[in-house]
Structure 1
């Protein structure tokens, strides 16, 4: 008699559906997260219309609608909403954002004379302009048809002046300061060693650098004075007079006059600034070029460090090491390293790489810097080199395991054919196994890059900073400065989210930075995947 368990349904089919459901849920979570980051990150650069809201208590609010939510304490069956407006003018209002009960908003209008301003300091501003006082003394009222074009021309001129000033103060004066520090160290060394011939040479060098410094400082002041006259007379929502120097304005636009093409142009301008310019206003505005550059350089250098060590270790474990308890212990240790919290690697990097290895390098090669420059370390402090080494150590197990799997996937016949042809074991590894396993090795490198690029905790201990005055790569020899601290997109997200003095102002930048970090990691991975596919195409007949 057939048992009741007999059925036309294959055994395990319910579990197939269950695992499929898990896949759908997982993909939905990933897509939902990426969609949230994308929408919130992209809309940061879009300029919507700016309303003028009349409140029932007599107040007037001019500001961009930031968000709308259910007010805390309202009933579920009769929710009450509140709106958050970005009103700007933080120096006058005390805060850039204002919450208003939606029920108290009597009316909203979109007048054409509302002007949006992005400023160097104190965040954005939304005002109603009255007149433009040009640098030549001419006054152009808001009623003049030429007001908008004149304002844009003056703002563009002010931007040029500010860029000239920053080029002088940050680059040219910074270079003089660097040379002066080196000359002073050399002078102290000469005086300590009583080098009579070198002392006057160093003093003349310092005098010449001080003269250059004075000249550049005067040139910078001249640049400032040339663009410090033009101002914008305006009024805020309360009718108070607000005078804004144009040297403080980065960008000006009339949000309620823009058409779709105008908003697209403004979007492109903001996006370009975000990618290619430096941050300002405590990193809550401006661009992320130093953080992008630092993340890219660190990730690439980490990959260059971890790949050879991981591949060499995997080759030894797979091809040369004898099976036994020691090999099993090593493999278990490598696998366990992949599960160690990243902050532990950061502590190790700080204690060994920075203090021990970096301190030893300073004692051997930069003793003059320590002795004659107030004991200032060069490699004995956090920097790009130690960050890259720390993350290379953290991602090493990933590359080792992936390389071992790739080597084991090479058909045994290829190995035996090479040995039968008279090739040595090393020649077989070099000419047969490594080329055939290259796609699998690159898979491990891709995984290592993806993990390393997003790490923050260890970097906080071994070299990442909130704001770096210089890039790790520039035109000054030796061009790649491994001792310099740098900015990182992951740390930038952490800093904005948890250390910013204005959390509301930082929120849009958090999403934009997160989107940029994801895009950077995806771009690096796509490049590595493209290389892997090219290599795989050369070995179609092999099984990987």
Structure 2
């Protein structure tokens, strides 16, 4: 039996297929976007092969170039001529490569564009070494010797590898010393500095109250003297560690014959990618991935890790969720269960819905003026006068950023909770009241548990939006580099007044404010992927909780 086109359209089948096609296209686009971000970001951590070329700049000038091929593209001959390079007539397209040559302190730039017809004698030197440094980016070259106290103690010919075991041994020793220094500075010394600052504030507090008598100051001065004695010992230990770092250095040479001396203390990692097996490359890859998610950034955020940004993002979202959930739920309960349904209530709902469309930067300006300057400034005057003129809460920080984003996402939670409350039939409420329960008991034991999945939906939507916001955070707490995490071992442990790092702002800073755009580009993709992963994990946690609540109260649902 044949169905006419008109009947087929009336059956609704075209709209089903259209909806399914739209969903499929959306899924493909999302997966494609994630695949692009992942491929561009994750490949950055793989140890790239080092290639050596003869680069012919002019007929009379040829130099050796060692580096990584980053990008290959085709350009028109007209573009090349406009840059001042001679191109033979009749040529329309030319291929060129972007080569990461490193050695910024030698060449002045990490990257160099070169036409492929200017490159010749391609080879892959087995013992070419890549040095990741704490400053000045990567260095690519060949090991010539080792110096101790400025004296050459071991040397080898270019292209030999007999010093490699000694180099790795000294580098491991240096890295252990660096770890001891970091533990000392961030641990014991950081704790003493924090306690000394608290003692200074205690003295200032006594002065403001007119109680700075010798009897009251004596215990504080005794504590200060003991801490300063401990600090002096730690400072001596720290100085000894720093002195031990400066004793050994490495003599290397670039591909074009320029010699360079690199102190072992400036090297983070050294490896020979052309001499690594597949297993060694995999080990290097996962070590770099772990460094990316667990270490602090360096080199203007273009090297190292992003752990402070991950920590700051998660901490801000958790605090924001704790703040927005009770306010949103209480507001929705009042509007749905207690408020008289009339013009005023409808006006409030319209205002709440309109708040969801306000640009986020407006919330940032409001947070800066109201939370930071007004509330924070008054808190400083009332509770922290001894810290003046340095602000405590009267400056952007984690608390104000969380409150601003809670205000930003509040309409989402209110609307989602109201929708959940409206789905609960009136008969359930009436049955509870008929059995003798009060209205409050009905809400607490029946209505709110049944509406909890809808509340979690609102929280999920709030988390998804808040985690990716950047504009308001630039005004109320986020910074390029935070010296201390908001959470540490010093009381009160969670420091809500501190500034913090954020993955979204980190992407903006690295992508648009970095002095070395080409070096930063892979990290932009990698950080964007990490932001997506963090948001997905937070949402999955909330979704899991929502599903458990839904299963728990399924018997009451209709």
Q: Same fold (TM over 0.5)?
A: yes
Distance in 2 between the 1:73 and 1:321 partners?
A: 73
- Alpha carbons 2:398, 2:498 under 8 Å: kept: yes
Q: How many angstroms apart in 2 are the aligned matches of 1:188 and 1:274? A: 42
Question: How many Å separate the matches in 2 of 1:404 and 1:227?
Answer: 63
1:28-76 CA-to-partner distances (Å, cap 9, x unmatched) read 332222111111121111112111122233122111111122225569x
1:508 counterpart residue number: 522
1:324 aligned onto 2:345? no
1:62-117 CA-partner distances (Å, limit 9, x unpaired): 11111122225569x95322211111111111111111112222232111011011
1:139 to 154, 157, 160: 154
**Which one of the candidate residues 152, 158, 173 is aligned to 2:189?**
173
2:28 paired residue number: 28
Name stretches of at least 5 consecutive residues in structure 2 with no aligned partner.
80-90
Equivalent pair of 1:122/1:281 in contact (CA under 8 Å): yes
Match of 1:40 in 2: 40
Q: Which of 266, 274, 278 pairs up with 1:248?
A: 266
Distance 1:6 1:111 in 2: 69
Aligned 8 A contact 2:145 2:152 in 1: no
Whether 2:552 is the aligned partner of 1:523: answer no
| 1:369 corresponds to which of 387, 410, 413 | 387
Rounded to whole Å, the distance in 2 between the matches of 1:139 and 1:327 is: 84
Partner deviation per Cα, 1:99-137 (whole Å, 9 max, x = no partner): 111222223211101101111111111111122346897
Cα displacement string for residues 163-220 of structure 1 (whole angstroms, at most 9, x for unaligned residues): 2222233433333332232333333444562423234544454444444433332221
User: Do the aligned partners of residues 438 and 72 (structure 1) sit closer, same or farther apart at CA in structure 2, a change above 3 Å counting?
Assistant: farther
Q: Among residues 174, 178, 181, which one is paired with 1:158 in the alignment?
A: 174
Contact 2:319 2:402 in 1 (8 A): yes
Question: Quick one: distance in 2 between partners of 1:189 and 1:431?
Answer: 49
Q: Give, in angstroms, the shift of residue 396 of structure 1.
A: 0.6
CA–CA distance in structure 2, aligned partners of residues 272 and 436 of structure 1: 42
Aligned to 2:135: 121
| Cα deviation, residue 160, structure 1 | 0.9
Which residue in the other structure is 2:87 paired with? none
Check if 1:70 corresponds to 2:74: yes
TM-superposed CA distance for 1:339, in Å, is 0.7
User: Which of residues 472, 484, 489 in structure 1 aligns to 2:503?
Assistant: 489
Maintained 8 Å contact 2:156/2:162: no
| SS in structure 1 of the partner of residue 98 of structure 2 | strand
Q: What does residue 383 of structure 1 align with?
A: 397
* Aligned equivalent of 2:553, options 536, 539, 544: 539
Q: Secondary structure at the match of 1:131?
A: strand
CA contact (8 A) 1:453 1:521 kept: yes
Give the 3-state SS of the residue equivalent to 2:269 in structure 1.
strand
What are the equivalent positions in structure 2 for 1:137-536 lying under 5 Å apart? 138-139=153-154, 141=156, 146-191=162-207, 193=210, 194-370=212-388, 375-536=389-550
Q: 1:7 corresponds to which residue? A: 6
Counterpart of 2:8 in 1: which secondary structure? coil
**2: CA distance between counterparts of 1:72 and 1:511?**
28
Is the partner of 2:554 in helix, strand or coil?
Answer: coil
Provide the secondary structure at the position in 2 that maps to 1:300.
helix
SS at match of 1:303: helix
Is the CA contact (8 Å cut-off) linking 2:146 and 2:152 kept in structure 1?
no
Which piece of structure 1 moves more, 270-279 or 203-212? 203-212
Measure the CA separation in 1 of the matches of 2:96 and 2:453: 54
Q: C-alpha distance in 1, partners of 2:277/2:127? A: 15
Shift of 1:17: 5.1
Three-state SS of the structure 2 residue aligned to 1:445 is helix
Deviation at 1:19, TM superposition (A): 4.8
SS in 2 for 1:406: helix
Residue 395 of structure 1 and its aligned partner are, at CA, apart by: 0.5
Q: How do residues 78-93 of structure 1 correspond to structure 2 at under 5 angstroms? A: 79-93=93-107
Note the alpha carbon deviations across 1:296-324, whole angstroms, 9 max, x for none: 11111111111111111111111111111
CA RMSD in angstroms, aligned pairs only: 2.4
| Cα separation, partners in 2 of 1:186 and 1:418, compared to 1, 3 Å | closer
Inter-partner Cα distance in structure 1 for 2:440 and 2:76: 70
TM-score of the two chains, using structure 1 as the length reference: 0.93
Q: 1: distance between equivalents of 2:152 and 2:177?
A: 18
Aligned residue for 1:478, secondary structure, equals coil
The CA deviation at 1:277 is 1.1
TM-score under structure 2 length normalisation: 0.91
- In structure 2, the CA distance between the partners of 1:72 and 1:200, relative to structure 1 (3 Å rule), is farther
User: Does structure 1 residue 60 correspond to structure 2 residue 59?
Assistant: no
Between the aligned partners of 2:386 and 2:198, the Cα distance in structure 1 is 10
- Secondary structure of 2:270's counterpart equals strand
Instruction: Give yes or no for contact 2:313–2:503 (8 Å, CA) kept in 1.
Output: yes
Give the match's secondary structure for 1:56: strand
**Consecutive unaligned residues in structure 1, runs of 5 or more:** none
Residues 396, 497 of structure 2: 8 Å contact kept: yes
